[in-house]
Amino acid sequence: MNKLRGDNYTEVTEFILVGLSHQPKSQIIFFCILLHLYLGTIVGNIFIIMVVWKEPRLHTPMYFFLCNLSFVDLCSTTTLVPLALVNCLRDCPTITYNDCFAQMTISIFWSTTECWLLGIMAYDRFAAISNPLHYAVIMTMRACFQITATMWISSFLLALLPVVTVPVQFCAGHNVVNHFACEVEAVLKLVCSDTTVSEILMWVTSIFNLPLPFLFILLSYIRILVAVLKIPSTAGRRKAFSTCGSHLTVVIIYYGTLISIYLKPQNKDSIDQDKIIFLFYGIVIPMMNPLIYTLRNKDMIGALRKAAGRTKQVRLSV
């Protein structure tokens, strides 16, 4: 729905989200797949938070940051999926202007937070491997809380700045978003007013959101590699690498997907590919993270076995 404002511009009050609305049969299949992925993401990430919270042995900086990552994955998925599920059951999926920009801003916030959180986790592994004797002094819980508080505040400001500082206008009838959600690039394609300033702000903030955290992670792992090569024993090297395996796997998948989204040439044939990549990035990765950290981590496996043993004892006593 549009309200006329003159000069061929309109005040857009809602957007139409195309998604798979032109393929009704596919919508039902997509709904079932999306629902199962979402439930898996919710259960997996809540499970990790509960296990770390209940197991005193896991009350360390590494697992503190892992809980933050699980919380971010929970929230980022919930920002996108419930509305997508509802829209699968509607013939003409719509979202209000305010809700669209709120979803867009919140999605940027969660993405920025996850990028920097992965960088912090890389530094935590570097501190643990390169200087194990002073690790407890460097990464105190107070320091962890201060680092994460700074990360949350900075990510919020970086997400808010490009969206609220520059007003945009839409032409009559330009309110059809060819996507499942209010993705930034899909919405900006509909803007008729000059977007130069907005694009510059987006470009500047994206430097803080993507290249800087990635460079920080890269430098951390180079220093980790140097520190590991100095370890004389093969068993020590293997143990050091094993502590980084899960995090490195998550980083490769996460940044690999982001790079494919933002560096891939944009054309008409890439629209459907963008949707698939966006779904993988927004839904599949948050579901995979708990599996990666659980299956590749001996401490987590031990905590899970301990929790399973307690559950079995409770059942037998009942």
Is the pLDDT higher at 262 or at 252?
Answer: 252
| 2, pLDDT greater than 70 | no
Neighbours of 148 (CB within 10 A): 17
Look at residues 303, 311, 308 and name the one whose alpha carbon lies nearest to residue 60: 303
Q: pLDDT-derived band of residue 45, with 50, 70 and 90 as boundaries?
A: very high
pLDDT of residue 227: 86
| 71-75, 86-90, 133-137: the lowest-pLDDT one | 86-90
- Give whole-number Cα distances, 93 to 54, 182, 275, in Å: 42, 12, 16
Residue-level pLDDT at 166 = 56
Q: Which of 54-68, 95-109, 173-187, 225-239 has the lowest mean pLDDT?
A: 173-187
**Mean pLDDT estimate for the chain:** 79
Domains of the chain: 17-317 (1.20.1070.10)
Q: What pLDDT does 95 receive? A: 84
- Is residue 64's pLDDT more than 90? yes
Distance, CA of 233 to CA of 77 (rounded, Å) = 42
Q: Percent of the chain having pLDDT more than 70?
A: 79
The pLDDT tens digits for 66-84 are 999 999 999 999 998 888 8
29/150: higher pLDDT: 150
Q: Which token pair is 209?
A: 């959101």
Q: What is the pLDDT of residue 70?
A: 93
pLDDT at 4 exceeding the cut of 50:
no
- 264-284: pLDDT as tens digits: 655 555 566 677 777 787 888
- What percentage of the chain reaches a pLDDT higher than 90? 19
